[in-house]
């Protein structure tokens, strides 16, 4: 720094020849030089000057050191010197600590009341013989569950962990309650709106009450309820994730039904089973029902996934996904014993002598009466067989259950299932549909549906 600049800065006023940034820079330089020249009181004083005779300084004398800048030696100092990690629960706030004390006392009281209620339930079952479905037992169990839920409802630490998505115990009731509440506040409402808007109820089922969240992905793309999926993206089966909000372990069946499959024999639309996988284990720790593999974990693929296709001229198809809770393992479409084994007589019956027939019917009239007329046989077969259904080749897994005309309501009633989740997507004719139908081996990929002139 020049002597002129130093004199001006020491005078304490900024001349008109200097700009403000230049003035601040020079002032900072002057302050730095002043700090460097200031003596350090921590270090020992420098040695005295040498004598007139030019005697050298003693060998053990310490060489003068330049003190470090205060800005560089400044370090962050912790507020607490005990080395412990302090949370908000240990902060010295009297009001907060008093509130925590009240919350803890309330928690202890609710736990005691819940334990007393559960003991009362056990006594009623043991001494008075009350069953599980008794109304009084159900009310007492609901009250005890509400007490256990409200034990940690006011805990600020648990709420902080939930809001910030920190590590938490998935089996804790309060976390399950908050997850269920967040799902019902928006996602479940959107799902029910799509189900009513697209007439899934009552076209497929009379009522649907989802209690678990169903998430679907096609090729790592999340599918929201009711969206339209391109044909080339739905070539392979989706990954289905069932997220429960309790600690119960379930076996579920995943069913995909297309209620808009055209049926020429009925001159209308019919149900078509697109996919069915049974015995899928689901829990809060492993919510993935079906991923890339459908045979892992004891799953049984009754009807393999069939890529959806829509003909030109048709409206979009609705593909309804239902999660059905099972009571136990479900065996669907198991083949019975062969007829040859059923016709064989048992050992005692084979040993008995055969009795002669009373009267052998050899008259031609009796034979003609026993067999229907050849002209009447085709009409009788048409009435009994009804519409022709699409069957899989013999010996394949698809032959275990009929796809066309699949009645989901009777299937649920026959196997004692409960609908606990739902999802849906749509598919329409697009530019990639013909390529998909060719890959599937469809020979009618050029077919087009047109409206009859009477209805135009």
pLDDT per position as a tens digit, 106-147:
999 999 999 999 999 999 999 999 999 999 999 999 999 999
Q: Which residues contact 438 (CB under 8 A, 6 or more apart)?
A: 445
pTM above 0.75, yes or no: no
φ, ψ dihedrals at 241, nearest 5°: -120, 120
Q: Average pLDDT, stretch 374-383?
A: 35
pLDDT band for position 367 (cuts 50, 70, 90) = very low
| Domain ranges within the chain, ordered by starting residue | 1-31, 88-153, 169-332+395-445
pLDDT band for position 337 (cuts 50, 70, 90) = very low
pLDDT per position as a tens digit, 165-191:
888 899 999 999 999 999 999 999 999
pLDDT for 193 beyond 90: yes
| Per-residue pLDDT, 354 | 46
pLDDT per position as a tens digit, 45-70:
556 555 444 454 454 444 555 555 55
211 burial type by CB count under 10 A (0-12 exposed, 13-18 middle, 19+ buried): middle
Please state, in angstroms and rounded to a whole number, the distance separating the CA atoms of residues 265 and 387. Answer: 6
Task: Answer whether 209's CB lies under 8 Å from 421's CB.
Answer: no
pLDDT band for position 83 (cuts 50, 70, 90) = low
Q: Average pLDDT, stretch 386-391?
A: 40
φ, ψ dihedrals at 185, nearest 5°: -70, -30
Question: Of 3.90.280.10, 3.30.479.20, 3.40.50.2300, 3.40.50.300, which CATH number belongs to 169-332+395-445?
Answer: 3.90.280.10
| Per-residue pLDDT, 379 | 35
Omega cis (within 30) before 202? yes
| Per-residue pLDDT, 397 | 44
3-state per-residue secondary structure call for the chain: CCHHHHHHHHHCCCCCCCCHHHHHHHHHHHHHHHHHHCCCCCCCCCCCCCCCCCCCCCCCCCCCCCCCCHHHHCCCCCCCCCCCCCCHHHCCCHHHHHHHHHHHHHHHHHHHHHHHHHHHHHHHHHHCCCCCCCHHHHHHHHHHHHHHHCCCCCCHHHHHHHHCCCCCCCCCHHHHHHHHHHHHHCHHHHHHHHHHHCCHHHHCCCCCCCCCEEEEEECCEEECCCCECCCCCCCCCCEEEEECCCCCCEEEEEEEEEEEEEECCCCEEEEEEEEEEEEEEECCCCCEEECCCCCCCCCEEEECCCCCCCCECCCCEEEEEEEEECCCCCCCCCCCCCHHHHHCCCHHHHHCCCCCCCCCCCCHHHHHHHCCCCCCHHHHHHHHHCCCCCCCCCCCHHHHCCCECCCHHHHHHHHCCEEEEEEEEEECCCCCHHHHHHHCCCCCCCCECCCCHHHC
| Per-residue pLDDT, 363 | 43
User: Percent of the chain scored above 90 by pLDDT?
Assistant: 46
Strand order in the sheet with 239-243: 221-223, 213-218, 239-243, 288-290
| Per-residue pLDDT, 97 | 86
Average pLDDT along the chain = 77
pLDDT per position as a tens digit, 277-307:
999 999 999 898 888 766 666 788 999 999 9
Looking at 132-141, 242-251, 400-409, 435-444, which range is the least confident one?
Answer: 435-444
Task: Answer whether 302's CB lies under 8 Å from 335's CB.
Answer: no
| Per-residue pLDDT, 271 | 95
Q: Average pLDDT, stretch 372-379?
A: 38
Task: Answer whether 254's CB lies under 8 Å from 310's CB.
Answer: no
pLDDT for 359 beyond 80: no
369 burial type by CB count under 10 A (0-12 exposed, 13-18 middle, 19+ buried): exposed
Q: Which residues contact 67 (CB under 8 A, 6 or more apart)?
A: 40, 42, 43
pLDDT for 152 beyond 70: yes
| Per-residue pLDDT, 357 | 41
Looking at 16-20, 73-77, 160-164, 417-421, which range is the least confident one?
Answer: 73-77
Task: Answer whether 272's CB lies under 8 Å from 261's CB.
Answer: yes
| Per-residue pLDDT, 8 | 57
| Per-residue pLDDT, 229 | 94
Please state, in angstroms and rounded to a whole number, the distance separating the CA atoms of residues 217 and 416. Answer: 29
pLDDT for 261 beyond 50: yes
Please state, in angstroms and rounded to a whole number, the distance separating the CA atoms of residues 412 and 397. Answer: 21
pLDDT band for position 440 (cuts 50, 70, 90) = confident
Q: Which residues contact 194 (CB under 8 A, 6 or more apart)?
A: 200, 225, 226, 424
pLDDT band for position 361 (cuts 50, 70, 90) = very low
| Per-residue pLDDT, 371 | 42
């Amino acid at each position: 720094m020049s002597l002129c600049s130093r004199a001006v800065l020491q005078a304490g006023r900024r001349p008109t020849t200097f700009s403000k940034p230049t003035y601040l820079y020079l002032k900072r330089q002057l302050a730095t030089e002043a700090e460097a020249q200031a003596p350090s009181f921590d270090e020992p004083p420098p040695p005295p000057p040498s004598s007139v005779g030019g005697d050298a300084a003693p060998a053990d004398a310490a060489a003068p050191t330049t003190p470090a800048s205060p800005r560089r030696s400044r370090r962050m100092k912790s507020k607490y010197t005990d080395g412990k990690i302090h949370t908000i629960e240990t902060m010295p706030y009297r009001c907060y600590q008093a509130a925590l004390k009240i919350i803890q006392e309330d928690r202890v009281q609710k736990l005691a009341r819940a334990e007393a209620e559960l003991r009362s339930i056990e006594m009623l079952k043991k001494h008075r013989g009350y069953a599980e479905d008794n109304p009084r037992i159900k009310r007492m169990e609901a009250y005890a569950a509400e007490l256990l839920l409200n034990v940690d409802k006011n805990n600020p630490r648990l709420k902080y962990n939930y809001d910030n998505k920190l590590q938490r115990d998935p089996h804790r009731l309060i976390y399950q309650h908050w997850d269920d509440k967040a799902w019902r506040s928006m996602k479940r409402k959107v799902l029910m709106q799509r189900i009513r808007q697209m007439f899934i109820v009552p076209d497929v089922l009379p009522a649907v009450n989802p209690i678990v969240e169903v998430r679907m992905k096609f090729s790592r793309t999340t599918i929201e309820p009711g969206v339209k999926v391109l044909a080339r993206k739905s070539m392979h089966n989706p990954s289905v994730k069932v997220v429960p909000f309790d600690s119960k372990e379930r076996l579920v069946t995943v069913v995909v039904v297309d209620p808009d499959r055209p049926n020429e024999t009925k001159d209308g639309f019919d149900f078509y089973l697109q996919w069915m996988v049974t015995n899928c284990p689901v829990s809060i720790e492993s919510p993935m029902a079906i991923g890339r593999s459908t045979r892992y974990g004891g799953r049984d693929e009754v009807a393999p996934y069939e890529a959806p296709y829509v003909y030109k001229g048709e409206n979009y198809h609705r593909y309804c996904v239902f999660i059905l809770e099972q009571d136990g393992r479900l065996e669907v479409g198991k083949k019975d014993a062969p007829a040859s084994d059923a016709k064989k007589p048992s050992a005692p019956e084979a040993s008995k002598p055969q009795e002669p027939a009373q009267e052998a019917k050899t008259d031609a009239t009796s034979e003609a009466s026993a067999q229907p007329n050849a002209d009447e046989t085709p009409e009788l077969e048409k009435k009994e067989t009804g519409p022709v259904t699409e069957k899989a080749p013999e010996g394949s897994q698809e032959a275990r259950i009929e796809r066309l005309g699949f009645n989901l309501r009777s299937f649920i009633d026959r196997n004692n299932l409960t609908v606990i989740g739902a999802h849906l997507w749509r598919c329409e004719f697009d530019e990639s549909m013909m390529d998909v139908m060719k890959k599937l081996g469809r020979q009618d990929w050029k077919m087009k549906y047109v409206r009859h002139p009477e209805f135009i």
